[in-house]
Amino acid sequence: MLPRHSRFDGVCGGRLWLDGRVLDTCAGARQSELTEEASPITHGTEAGARAHNRRGETACRWCKEAGRLAQRERRRRKRAADQTNPTHTKEKK
Ligand SMILES: [Zn+2]
């Protein structure tokens, strides 16, 4: 991923990009994460939050936020599923 060249908007390599420019940098982001090969953590995603945890790190604010939103979305979907199908949670395979 070459954000600078693709005029990328979003979060990549621990940086928040807008129109190919770095707006903000993730705390703990390493320069090496901007190289094409190495990017074990995709910041700003729930997977990124898990990757931080695997490294024994505290998730950066982008990952933390993404994880929080994903969790909230899952809870919301589960609630909706339970409401439309009350027996859903009792069913077993
Ligand atoms: Zn992160």
- The region that residue 36 occupies, defined by phi over 0 for left and psi between -120 and 50 for alpha, beta otherwise, is alpha
**Which pLDDT belongs to residue 37?**
40
Its pTM stands at 0.47
Identify the three-state secondary structure at position 22: strand
**Which pLDDT belongs to residue 55?**
87
pLDDT digits (tens, 9 = 90+) for 13-22: 667 767 777 7
Q: Please give the distance, rounded to the nearest whole angstrom, from the Cα atom of residue 74 to the centre of ligand 1.
A: 20
CB–CB of 1/39 below 8 Å?
Answer: yes
Residue ranges covered by each domain of the chain: 3-83
pLDDT digits (tens, 9 = 90+) for 34-89: 544 445 689 999 999 999 988 898 999 999 999 999 999 999 999 999 888 766 56
CB–CB of 41/52 below 8 Å?
Answer: yes
Q: Please give the distance, rounded to the nearest whole angstrom, from the Cα atom of residue 84 to the centre of ligand 1.
A: 36
Query: What CA–CA distance (Å, rounded) separates 48 from 90?
Result: 33
Q: Please give the distance, rounded to the nearest whole angstrom, from the Cα atom of residue 91 to the centre of ligand 1.
A: 37
